[in-house]
Structure 1
């Protein structure tokens, strides 16, 4: 009698595909984290591919994606792939991010970014916010500009008076609770001024998924036409009382 095989050729052929591993900086218990999980959960459901998410610091994500330890990264600017080996952009923008300066103190106003050097304000931004770096570093001395690991830290620094304003993009800033409990009862963040033009954000994938990229682009395009991505954003904000 022949020994039993672990799986027949047919079973092996029809085995469920491995999950597509998406990297993000946003934990699931934030509005932006919920938002990206809804977007890509639905996109990959339509493609018949399971997906799971891993949270990593912003600078680590690019390394893991280049090495193929992550299959994709949820949202990055249009030029992100140019600085990374084996990373390609899925050519359908997911969202247009608006970078801006935010503050809580009601007395702070700013008509032009060029007026920042004449103030005594100290700013903070999360590492990887390239538009913030590009705009603020030429305007402010090094002792007036701080970079931190995540946006929640920046929000807490502003809320507790350790910084006067933060720079970040709307999706993350508006959905981020302050990390410090003592900051939660302070005045809400309000926008001072936009920084640069809106920046389209894209899904990026490791080059081994190059054949999948056009299908992902078409799926995201259809979801946008259905206004699903916008709806998911409003649902995520409402879920967190925003």
Structure 2
């Protein structure tokens, strides 16, 4: 209880300071959305405005290649990045993570209908082929863990096309991404595993000049967290 009260006092002082000094954001924040996400995910991220508004910040979301977005944040060319796993440290300096996730998504394996793969036994996928969207560390980690062969693509659409055409055997992703209605041409022919392979927390990263903004956003994340529901 004491820790909770102390946290509320710190937040109140921080918010008061922001009001006195004109807020934490004298200019709109430019925050990236990965170009590789399909429309349903991009729409979810673009709607994530309210936490920033509550602390007096305006956000401009900008579509950027996933492979470059965090590097641009580290260099100060962007103010922040979205939907990133907790896997960035000394390799990219000048980053600060909002400690509570902006999203928590279940990642399932998918295969083409008629495939003989048993999706409930991922260890049997060894040496099978999968597709990675460039810069996606979660998929890279899964591929390494299961010893999958990797083909890379610029976006989810290209990966699902590969799966539908038999160029790869499996693809892993959340339902919000893979089952996007705009990709029905391909995903209507897929079978999904019964259970998720992993549940991933996805975070906002900011350039470390925005440490105060990260702290102010922290207590608001649970209230606005994105889940697996389709639009």
Normalising by structure 2, we get a TM-score of: 0.76
Does the 8 Å CA contact 2:94/2:207 hold for their aligned counterparts?
yes
Q: Measure how far apart 1:165 and its partner are.
A: 1.9
Q: Measure how far apart 1:106 and its partner are.
A: 3.2
Q: Secondary structure of the equivalent of 2:216?
A: helix
Q: Measure how far apart 1:97 and its partner are.
A: 2.6
Q: Measure how far apart 1:185 and its partner are.
A: 6.0
Does the 8 Å CA contact 1:131/1:195 hold for their aligned counterparts?
no
Q: Secondary structure of the equivalent of 2:126?
A: helix
Q: Secondary structure of the equivalent of 1:211?
A: helix
Normalising by structure 1, we get a TM-score of: 0.73
Unaligned runs of 5+ in 2: 1-20
Does the 8 Å CA contact 2:99/2:203 hold for their aligned counterparts?
yes
Does the 8 Å CA contact 2:100/2:218 hold for their aligned counterparts?
yes
Hey, what's the Cα distance between the residues in 2 that align with 1:28 and 1:122? 21
Structure 1 residues 145 and 134: CA distance shift in structure 2, 3 A: same
Hey, what's the Cα distance between the residues in 1 that align with 2:106 and 2:186? 26
Residue 172 (structure 1) aligned to one of 177, 180, 187: 177
Q: Measure how far apart 1:67 and its partner are.
A: 0.6
What is the root-mean-square deviation in Å for CA atoms of aligned residues? 3.0
Does the 8 Å CA contact 1:101/1:191 hold for their aligned counterparts?
yes
| Equivalent residue number for residue 202 of structure 1 | 203
Q: Measure how far apart 1:128 and its partner are.
A: 2.9
Could you list the per-position Cα deviations for residues 122-170 of structure 1 after superposition, in whole angstroms to 9, with x for gaps in the alignment?
Answer: 32121333233223235446xx421222222101111233222212344
Could you list the per-position Cα deviations for residues 174-223 of structure 1 after superposition, in whole angstroms to 9, with x for gaps in the alignment?
Answer: 33744xxxx81663433236675312111111000001111111222333
Hey, what's the Cα distance between the residues in 1 that align with 2:186 and 2:87? 38
| Equivalent residue number for residue 110 of structure 2 | 102
Q: Measure how far apart 1:103 and its partner are.
A: 1.6
Structure 1 residues 139 and 43: CA distance shift in structure 2, 3 A: closer
How many residue pairs get matched? Answer: 209
Residue 130 (structure 1) aligned to one of 137, 162, 171: 137
Structure 1 residues 163 and 43: CA distance shift in structure 2, 3 A: same
| Equivalent residue number for residue 114 of structure 1 | 123
Residue 22 (structure 1) aligned to one of 24, 31, 34: 31
